[in-house]
Amino acid sequence: MPVPLGELRHDPGLGLPILDALAAGTPTLGEIEALPEMARHDFGTISRFVALLASANQAHPLAQPAEEGRRAAGRLNRAIARRMLVDESLVFLAAPTVGLGVGADVLERLVLAGLLTGQPMDVQPLGGFVADALRALGGAVFAEDGSPISDPEAMRPLVATKLAALLPQKLPLWQRLGLL
């Protein structure tokens, strides 16, 4: 793991099972400690590794915010999403389960903006929405050869292909964070 003074290395027997558990869901520290692979590690070692992941923004502790907090974050995120369609400087959305603003790249922001403003969770119409939004922002998608494509009709199939790969990976995370 890169750190300002170099790189921290960990025992793969410790780190890999924890990373696998985090990739599969939202385990508690107790659930991580109970993994069979953790039997040879004490709780202090496990919790320090998880704390290191959190400090490196690779993991975040989750909370169960009150329903009003979730609704407030949802209202804020919908307002931010509408503004993202005309202002590229907005890069964070409220994630109520971690109590932080979570950043996203341009494609992710436009996908989230589409979903938060009522676009269907289907790659074709959502891809069209994202392509139109990119065009309105003066953006482009890059073809395989690296050439920019700014025509929305030509962008749509490329964006849809990207979304087909992005959505299965990001949707569960966005839902865990409370963005959607």
User: For each of the chain's 180 residues, which pLDDT tens digit applies?
Assistant: 776 777 777 788 899 999 999 988 889 899 999 999 999 999 999 999 998 888 887 888 877 778 888 899 999 999 998 898 888 888 899 999 888 888 888 889 899 999 998 999 899 999 999 999 988 888 888 888 888 888 878 888 899 999 999 999 899 889 888 888
Instruction: State how far the Cα of 125 lies from the Cα of 36, in Å rounded to an integer.
Output: 44
Exposure string (b/e) for 126-157, b if CB count within 10 Å is 16 or more?
bbbbbbbbbbeeebbbeeeeeeebeebeebbe
What is the model's pTM?
0.69
Continuous segment of H or E residues that includes residue 13: helix 12-24
- pLDDT digit string (tens) for 8-38? 777 888 999 999 999 888 898 999 999 999 9
* 76 alpha carbon, distance to own chain's centre: 17
d(CA 125, CA 114): 10
